[in-house]
Amino acid sequence: MRLLFRLVIVLVVAAGVLAGALFGLSRQYTVHGTEMAPTIEKGDHVAVFRFSDWFYTPHRKDVVVFTAPAAAAKACGDVERVIGLPGENVSEQDGRVSIDGTPLKEPYVKPGNRDTHSAAWHVPPGDYFLMGDNRKSACDSRFFGSVPKKSIVGKVFLTFWPVDRVSID
């Protein structure tokens, strides 16, 4: 019985330390739009490491939290996927994305979520081109332009609420 009591105490303390570290070293965000469905749904709560904007360099396909440009802040969400890197040319032809002419494999975009857009964009140095996984309803870089690195808060590393959608990215 005494061993069981000690084990419970150790587990409670460990859970407390883990929760303190998680919530003390991360920023939490609630997803307000459907741009990333079904990967991340409206109402999901996600976490980004604090201070990651100081040392994090975005990579293609990372899901990031960002500060939307002023003109798009109210209409658009603030969680998107990095598609284009600085200096690249991004094109979309009938819902299929290419980077510098090479088709991008996007298993996270469901066939029914593709749109019929056809356009091309150049990503300026220091900027990133962001797109949602739900392309039909995404308000993303195709509409408000590329996003400077300083506007990217960090990479989503955890979806922690609701419980049935918990995932580590």
The answer to whether 152 and 163 have CB atoms below 8 angstroms apart is no
Where are the domains positioned within the chain? Answer: 2-168
CATH architecture, range 2-168: Ribbon (2.10)
Q: How far apart are CA 83 and CA 136, in angstroms?
A: 16
pLDDT for the residue numbered 9: 67
Summarised one tens digit per residue, pLDDT across range 143-164 is 899 999 999 999 998 888 887 8
| 17-22: Cβ within 8 A, 24+ apart | 22/47, 22/158
Summarised one tens digit per residue, pLDDT across range 123-133 is 999 999 999 99
Mean pLDDT of 114-120: 88
pLDDT for the residue numbered 125: 97
Q: Structure tokens of 101? A: 């002419």
Q: How far apart are CA 76 and CA 79, in angstroms?
A: 9
Summarised one tens digit per residue, pLDDT across range 49-93 is 876 667 778 999 999 999 888 777 777 888 999 999 999 999 999
Summarised one tens digit per residue, pLDDT across range 32-46 is 888 999 999 999 999
